């Protein structure tokens, strides 16, 4: 049976296909707004939103198949698969689908406090030079997200790249039980989601769940992190343990150099791999971006991709939207968009990299770092010395309001912003000029991505 037919999906669910059989384009989506012709729409019942209310929208956008709990109002001409609980059905279906692929498939799972999505993107670029690779289009890093990625797996795929995120213990372990990786990667362990983990050691323990796969053959990790290095040393000897970093690592980053010319970033470094040294160059933001690039080249060469081939695939690679993507505004100012999320490690790296840029004037909009527990205020205070490199910094969020005034940091021009993002955007449009640089960074809860849209002329609120 072909593995992208509606009847095959119904068999995985242990259900009957209602409506005509056919094939889907390969994407499973839970957001009807993203559905395009040929996609599969999956209706979930959430706490605030019921996906079943958007089934007709998905059909109007071209959904070829609906997976749902209630098919009563679906036209008979539209294929559908009914399950009792979508949240429970999807992982079970994906587990069956993955098992059918057999041992011919490399399953790579990536986690980390920072850099996992960027590492996944760069790794896919490298692997596609030599393998048929399948990966999520979006940050599908939950059990459901991984399930939808696997259910769209092409039958001829040779490598599957998954991203596994977590904000509480046991979450990655559950994903690993359903979808055991053959290669696991931890990009970094740092303070993040401390409300769920309690400490960095708790974060480490949760991330190390990715190494509990019974199918694991190789484990890649950030060798510059002592906590990770010690944890990696306890992995069974039969599993290859491979490090990437600037220290004495298996894949060693040498002499990283970063610059921005005419709004175009360039990061270059040499990567010492077993038996060779590879020149790596990409349009990525900041020296810290060398880590995901090193993981991408390292894992690829480990799987047999020639080092120069892997490096060449990264020459046009750039930072992702909300993760260091650089844009040139109408004013001629350079905008560094790192608005997707923030924790102390990523915030420090981005502010340090932006602060080192040699430009006429440098500005920053700094939001909060959320979910850091009782030490949250301390982590914010620790950022203040990094803000001295900027001409003006606008601080956004309740945490900054609570911490103000910022005694001892008077030499930094800090503006506590309590107005709307629209008003801030309008103010910045008047302030920014050609030759200026502005970095925008904060947790997703601050929605600084909306400020980016305003500055880029893509939004008005």
Cβ-in-10-Å burial (0-12, 13-18, 19+) of 99 comes to exposed
Count CB neighbours of 274 within 10 A: 11
Instruction: Say if residue 116 carries a ligand binding annotation.
Output: yes
DSSP letters for 362-413: EEEEE----S-GGGHHHHHHTTGGGGGGSSEEEEESHHHHHH-S-TT-TTS-
Q: What share of the chain is helix, strand, coil (3-state, %, to 5)?
A: 35, 25, 40
Closest-CA residue to 163 (of 309, 27, 292): 292
- Beta strand pairing status for 65-68 and 218-222? unpaired
Is residue 331 within 8 A of residue 434, CB to CB? The reply is yes
Q: Is the dihedral angle over the CA atoms 221, 224, 228, 231 positive or is it negative?
A: positive
112 known ligand binder: yes
Euclidean distance between the first and the last CA atom of the chain, given in angstroms as a whole number: 50
Question: Is 166 marked within a binding site?
Answer: no
Q: What angle do CA 227, 238, 215 make, to 5 degrees?
A: 90
Whether 113 has a binding-site annotation, put simply, is yes
For 81, list phi and psi in degrees, rounded to 5.
-125, 120
The answer to whether 140 and 151 are in contact (CB under 8 A) is: no
Cα distance between residue 235 and residue 185, in whole Å: 13
> Half-sphere exposure of residue 413, counting CA atoms within 13 Å on the CB side?
10
111 annotated to a ligand binding site:
no
**Beta-bridge partners for 240:** 218
Asked whether residue 115 is marked as a ligand-binding residue, the answer is: yes
Q: How far out from the chain centre does Cα 233 lie?
A: 27
Does 38 belong to an annotated binding site?
A: no
DSSP string, 419-438: S-HHHHHHHHHHH--TTEEE
CB atoms within 10 A of CB 377: 13
Q: Are 259 and 251 in contact (CB under 8 A)?
A: no
Annotated binding site: 112-118
Annotated binding site for ATP: 112-118
């Amino acid at each position: 049976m072909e593995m992208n037919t509606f009847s095959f999906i119904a068999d995985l669910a242990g259900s009957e296909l209602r409506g005509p059989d056919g094939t889907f384009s390969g994407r499973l989506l839970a957001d009807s707004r993203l559905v395009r012709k040929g996609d599969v729409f999956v209706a979930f019942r959430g706490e605030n939103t019921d996906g079943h209310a958007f089934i007709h929208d998905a059909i109007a956008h071209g959904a070829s198949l609906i997976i749902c709990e209630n098919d009563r109002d679906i036209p008979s001409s539209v294929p559908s698969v009914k399950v009792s609980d979508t949240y429970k059905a999807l992982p079970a279906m994906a587990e069956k689908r993955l098992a059918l692929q057999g041992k011919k498939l490399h399953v790579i799972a990536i986690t980390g406090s920072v850099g996992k999505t960027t590492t996944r993107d760069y790794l896919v670029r490298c692997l596609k030079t030599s393998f048929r690779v399948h990966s999520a289009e979006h940050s599908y890093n939950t059990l459901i997200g991984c399930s939808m990625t696997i259910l769209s797996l092409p039958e001829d795929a040779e490598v599957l790249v998954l991203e596994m995120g977590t904000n509480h213990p046991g979450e990655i372990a559950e994903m690993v039980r359903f979808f055991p990786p053959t290669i696991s990667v931890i990009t970094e362990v740092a303070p993040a989601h401390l409300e769920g983990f309690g400490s960095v050691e708790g974060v480490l323990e949760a991330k190390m769940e990715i190494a509990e796969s019974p199918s694991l053959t190789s484990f890649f990790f950030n060798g510059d992190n002592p906590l990770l290095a010690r944890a990696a040393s306890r992995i069974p000897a039969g599993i290859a343990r491979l490090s990437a970093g600037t220290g004495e690592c298996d894949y060693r980053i040498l002499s990283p150099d970063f610059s921005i010319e005419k709004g175009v970033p360039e990061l270059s470094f040499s990567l010492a791999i077993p038996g060779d040294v590879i020149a790596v160059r990409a349009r990525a933001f900041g020296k810290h971006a060398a880590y995901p690039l090193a993981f991408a080249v390292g894992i690829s060469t480990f799987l047999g991709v020639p080092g120069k081939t892997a490096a060449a695939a990264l020459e046009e690679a750039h930072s992702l939207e909300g993760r260091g993507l650089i844009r040139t505004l109408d004013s001629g100012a350079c905008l560094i968009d790192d608005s997707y999320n923030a924790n102390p490690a990523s915030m420090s790296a981005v502010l340090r990299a932006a602060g080192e840029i040699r430009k006429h004037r440098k500005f920053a909009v700094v939001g909060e770092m959320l979910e850091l527990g009782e030490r949250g205020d301390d982590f914010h205070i620790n950022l203040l010395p990094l803000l001295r490199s900027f001409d003006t910094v606008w601080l956004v969020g309740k945490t900054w309001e609570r911490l103000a005034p910022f005694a001892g940091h008077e030499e930094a021009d800090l503006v506590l912003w309590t107005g709307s993002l629209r008003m801030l955007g309008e103010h910045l449009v008047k302030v920014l000029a050609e030759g200026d640089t502005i970095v925008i960074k904060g947790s997703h809860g601050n929605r600084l991505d909306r400020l980016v849209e305003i500055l880029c002329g893509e939004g008005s609120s």
